[in-house]
Amino acid sequence: QVQLVESGGGLVQAGGSLRLSCAASGSIDSINAMGWYRQAPGKQRELVARIRSGGTTTYADSVKGRFTISRDNAKNTVYLQMNSLKPEDTAVYYCNVYMRWRNYWGQGTQVTVSS
How are the residues of the chain apportioned to helix, strand and coil, as percentages rounded to the nearest 5?
10, 60, 35
Q: Residue 46's closest CA among 57, 61, 31?
A: 61
pLDDT tens for the 115 residues of the chain, in order: 899 999 999 999 999 999 999 999 998 888 889 999 999 999 999 999 999 988 999 999 999 999 999 999 999 999 999 999 999 999 999 999 999 999 999 999 999 999 9
Query: What is residue 69's DSSP assignment?
Result: E
- What SS3 state is found at 75? helix
Query: What is residue 55's DSSP assignment?
Result: S
**Cα torsion for 26, 31, 35, 41, to the nearest 10°?**
-50
